[in-house]
Amino acid sequence: MLCNEKGVLAPSEYFFFPDNEKASNYYYHVPVIGHFLCDKNYDIERNGGVSPLLFLVLQGELQARTKTNEVTAYKNDVLLLDCSKYHHYYCENSCEFLFAHFCGCNSGEITGFLTEGGNRSVFSDCEGRIRKCLLDILDNLHRKKDISFYSLSCMISTILTYLPENTEISPLSHAQHPALTEAGNYIRTNLTTNITLDDIADHAHISKYHLCKLFREHLGTTPLEYVSQAKINLAETMLVTTEKSIEKIAEDLCYSSSAAFINAFRLRKGITPNHYRKKALNIGYAAL
């Protein structure tokens, strides 16, 4: 179906799928999937009430804002939004992207887990696996092949499994860009505070837009994602060199709660902080 929304250019299209109410209790459902080319007039803002939404940027840049985060997704980035809460996504210039809404099963819970409650929204698709998942479905739709409810569920499950990968951070150096060195120095010395994008940009003497662009170009991540990973790296050291409780470490690193810290740690390390600490004590920190 062609789209006539404001800012959406031809030959953009999208496809609807009927719900399987019984199966949705156990599987994911994709109510709509599509491929859009948009100009600067594309602007969607909602107060919530919509199922989670993921984008795969093919060209250009897609901006998004929630109550707790503001990000830009570039080529080969995946943008994941919890649309049950306030969200705003738009193009400042132009953008081409694939997208899919998904619901059913534990869609809300896993979106909250992956986005750390909305604090992390952009993921990398460096190897193109998520792009392939979406394009395979769209290609079959163009060929007018039937797409089963279960095939769509499998696609979403596969994509959500790929997202947590490639979360390790790279070092910042002056050789990459002086502003990155300034950003790195500020982040490194303020990990026990609530670091914002504005704070980093101010100390790097650069606009938020250009700061995000530098991080994406040189590191394949965003400034706040870099901060999140740096906090987890510090948490690893605290877990094995101090006797601080999980609650105290979460507080020291300015997480909103111990649950938020545990979820963030498990997302990046695959195990809980307690499990990591026990493993470190049993086999030695150097082996981890």
Instruction: Judge whether 83 and 40 are in contact, CB under 8 Å.
Output: no
DSSP state of 285: G
How many CB atoms are closer than 10 A to CB 160? 22
Q: Which helix (H) or strand (E) holds 100?
A: strand 95-104
Q: Which domain holds residue 78?
A: 8-162
Tell me the per-residue pLDDT of 135-173, one tens digit each, with 9 for 90 and over: 999 999 988 888 888 899 999 999 998 887 655 555 665
Q: Which helix (H) or strand (E) holds 187?
A: helix 178-189
Whether residue 70 is contained in a domain is answered as yes
Question: What is the spatial distance between Cα 170 and Cα 153, in angstroms, rounded to a whole number?
Answer: 34
**Banded model confidence at residue 241, pLDDT cuts 50, 70, 90:** confident
Whether residue 147 is found in the same domain as residue 184 = no
What integer pLDDT is reported at residue 71 of this predicted model?
85
Whether residue 209 is contained in a domain is answered as yes
3-state class of 43 per DSSP? strand
- Whether 95 shows a pLDDT value over 90: the answer reads yes
Average pLDDT score, the chain = 86
Q: Which helix (H) or strand (E) holds 12?
A: strand 8-16
3-state class of 55 per DSSP? strand
- What's the chain's length in residues? 288
Mean pLDDT of 81-108: 93
Q: How many structural domains compose the chain?
A: 2
Question: Both tokens of residue 143?
Answer: 């060929």
Final residue belonging to a domain, choices 113, 132, 162: 162
**Which residue has better confidence, 100 or 72?**
100
Whether residue 35 is found in the same domain as residue 139 = yes
The predicted model scores a pTM of 0.66
What integer pLDDT is reported at residue 168 of this predicted model?
52
Whether residue 38 is found in the same domain as residue 142 = yes
What integer pLDDT is reported at residue 172 of this predicted model?
60
**Banded model confidence at residue 74, pLDDT cuts 50, 70, 90:** confident
Whether residue 172 is contained in a domain is answered as no
Whether residue 170 is contained in a domain is answered as no
Position of tokens 């987890």?
232
What integer pLDDT is reported at residue 159 of this predicted model?
93
Tell me the per-residue pLDDT of 165-217, one tens digit each, with 9 for 90 and over: 655 555 665 446 888 888 988 998 899 899 999 999 999 999 999 998 888 88
Whether residue 65 is contained in a domain is answered as yes
What integer pLDDT is reported at residue 25 of this predicted model?
81
